Structure 1
Amino acid sequence: MNTHTIENNTPVIPADAYDTTAFYADPDAIATVTNTTAPDAVALPSEDASTAELLTVAQEAGHRAVPAPLAETALVARPLLRRAGLPVPDGPLSYAIAPELTIRYAHTAASPIGSPGCLGDDDTLLVTGSLRRVPWARAADAVVVLATAPFGPVLFTLTPSQAHLTPGTNLAEEPRDDLHLAALEIPASQVRRIGPELLDEARLRAALARSALIAGAAERCVDLTVAHTTARTQFGRPLSRFQAVKQEEARLIEETALVRIAVQTAATPLDIGGPAAHFAVAAAKTQASASAAEIARIAHQLHGAIGITQLHPLHLATTRLWSWRDEDGDETHWAHRLARPLTPTTLWPALTTAHIAPAAQAIETSRGNGSPERI
């Protein structure tokens, strides 16, 4: 089996190019995250890295089409485990937000009130149901699951080997596997009770991670398109010299810049949390998903027929754009969440403020209920 490695013992991203041509020639290839040093490795950041640094790494992974759950591990699973107080494994991780699971106590306790089984001797759980389209489940050492237990929101971990795995992929052939659980017992040591705010943070982190990957893939489309129109000649001059091509390239660069800026702007609000985080992440995922289709369209249009072939690297970026656009909420989903708390009074400040945090705070103040809009 052909494998690539991503080392996790240094926060530095090597500057060398990540060539995936040979990797994808093997249909059974899968990337692994190990402590070995490889010349084509993209490093997982250190545990104390800021969200801005994590987003930079995720964008680089999207740019290189790295075949591994790097963004899922660094931006979603690891921070959630640390927030919940659970050990953080060294290897690759994935996540699943699954409120539809059926969860009950494994060790029920007698209770003079309520129905039988409404209390437990401890937090050991029996979990039944399916986790749908879990990113990179087959390659993950553990999956971080957020669900609803009898006592409220809960976070726990499981390994894919504990479930029946049905393999699946997205359009880019990245693993999106279903995990089927049949009365699986989760020890209390792997279970943490969490507040609704951590469940909200999980959704925000997943959406922002996907947005960062889109930003990286969009940059790859720009690189490949500019290189192609510069090298390709027609009627005795490069394609890039034609006005129509220049206009489309300018729009491609503009859409990519919009996505990159929206993602970067969301880093600090996510660290702060609260309404500012909801506002910034909703704006980032709305922009990223909305721009993904246009970026892919322009890139393929300017490449012509060569861009749709399996032998050309453009498809590694565009198929990911089409897939990631819908994952963790598409532009319609997040646009509704972005617009829901807005009022005639707060709309203009939200559109014109130089900082997202004051605008989001103005929205929250106008609502007057002191709690963030649930996303």
Structure 2
Amino acid sequence: MNTHTIVTDTPVISAADYDTAAFFAEPDAIAVVTNTTAPNAVALPSPDASTAELLAAAQEAGRRAVPAPFAETALVARPLLRRAGLAVPDGPLSYAIAPELTIRHAHPAASAVGSAGSVGEDDTLLVTGTLRRVPWARAATRVIVLATAPFGPVLFTLAPGRAVLTPGGNLAEEPRDDLYLAALEIPAAQVRRIPRELFEEAELRAALARAALIAGAAERCVELTVAHTSARTQFGRPLSRFQAVKQEEARLIEESALVRAAVRAAAAPLDTGGPAARFGVAAAKTQASASAAEIARIAHQLHGAIGITRLSPLHLATTRLWSWRDEDGDETTWAARLARSVTAATLWPALTATP
């Protein structure tokens, strides 16, 4: 059983410990606002865990701003490896969906038909190309790559150390690295031929994992904003007592709840696959990406200037919201896929069916 814990380095300030008033007291008081909280490790679920359990764990990782490929490992890489019949290694994993790679057989078979390398004696591959913006590549023990080989769709595992790595990052400073492969040989034991449907499943899993992380970061924005408006006073009363603030907080809570509900509703369809999975995941990622901007806007508006500083933990959530909104497809991309996933006959049942 491949179960372990990813220990993180970034602590989370709980809403109870986040004393906003300290920021506005005498200048020396800022020094006492520290990241002192409960343990910041989040247990990585068993590979046998249900999709609903994996989504709940990924949401918690998003809430805590876990600096590790938690959702990538639990919701994307591990299930794909199991579906392909490959062993699931310990440690953090990542993924890359790269149909544009140039792949040929490393051991070409003698054939008068086709170009050199199009037919092989085995499935050992020579891979050339660049894997763009791989999440947490520098920290992963293996990257799960889905590509197109001469014989069709293929999944193989790659140790990042075998590629030339160019560091990169997103707005939240999470690693998004490029991996350059120059005629890199992938042994046949690390290669599996896969059905075309597994490509689509990989895309769905990646998008739903990102939506679950957004749901967690949105929940964190609600916690911190409610704590801030309750503690911060203006004109002799807490900000939370002002009607305009109450209205914005209500909208913030509503947007966060919409994302959580959409992610939760996509769990069961993903297990069954087919049109229901396409509809559920497209709806979840569309809602999550669309809500991310509004959640971050309201949270920063109600925090005021202190919310944009590194002294406040709010930036750990909102920079991730802005980054994750676009990753694995933004709301425009998934709204189009959502529209394509239904017909006049299936729309109403899809909207009214119990997840």
Looking at structure 1, the residues matched to 132 and 4 of structure 2 have their Cα atoms a distance apart, in angstroms, of: 31
Residue in 2 aligned with 1:9? 4
Q: Percent identity?
A: 81
The 4+ residue runs of structure 1 with deviation greater than 2 A are 7-11, 17-21, 112-118, 341-351
- Matched residue, 1:216: 216
Shift of 1:110: 1.0
Structure 2 counterpart SS, 1:47: coil
1:122 Cα deviation from its structure 2 partner = 0.2
Shift of 1:355: 2.9
The one-letter code sitting in structure 2 at the alignment partner of 1:9 is: H
* C-alpha displacement of 1:87: 1.2
Query: How far apart in 2 are the matches of 1:20 and 1:153?
Result: 45
Does 1:304 pair with 2:304? yes
Contact 1:102 1:128 in 2 (8 A): yes
Matching of residues 249-328 of structure 1 within 5 Å = 249-328=249-328
Aligned to 1:118: 118
Shift of 1:345: 4.1
Q: Normalized against structure 2, the TM-score is what?
A: 0.89
Deviations along 1:4-35, one digit per CA (max 9) or x if unpaired, are xxx94379x9xxx94379xxxxxxxxxxxxxx
Letter in 1 for 2:243: Q
Classify the secondary structure of the residue corresponding to 1:120: coil
Please name the residue that 1:96 is paired with. 96
CA distance in 1, matches of 2:348, 2:269: 20
1:170 paired residue number: 170
Are the equivalent residues in 2 in contact too, given 1:128–1:181 (CA < 8 A)?
A: yes
Check conservation: 2:278, 2:341, Cα contact below 8 A. Answer: no
> Do residues 355 (structure 1) and 345 (structure 2) align?
no
- Residue 185 of structure 2 is matched in structure 1 by 185
Q: Residue type of the partner of 1:19?
A: V
CA distance in 2, matches of 1:347, 1:114: 45
Distance 1:346 1:243, change over 3 A: same
Q: Any stretches of 5+ residues in structure 1 without a counterpart?
A: 1-6, 22-37, 357-375
Give the C-alpha shift of residue 310 in structure 1. Answer: 1.3
Q: RMSD of the TM alignment (CA)?
A: 2.0
**Contact 1:10 / 1:46 at 8 angstroms: preserved in 2?**
no
Structure 1 residues 296 and 131: CA distance shift in structure 2, 3 A: same
- Show structure 2 runs of 5+ residues with no match: 15-37
Q: Quick check: 1:110–1:117 contact (8 Å CA) kept in 2?
A: no
In the alignment, structure 1 residue 59 sits paired with structure 2 residue 59:
yes
Give the alignment partner of residue 12 of structure 2, picking from 19, 42, 51: 19
State the 1:197 CA deviation.
Answer: 0.9
Q: Return the offset for 1:343.
A: 3.5
* TM-score (structure 1 length as normaliser): 0.84
1:228 aligns with 2:228: yes
CA distance in 2, matches of 1:180, 1:10: 30
Cα 1:264–1:164, aligned 2, differ >3 Å: closer, same or farther?
same
Could you tell me how far 1:47 is from its partner in structure 2? 1.7
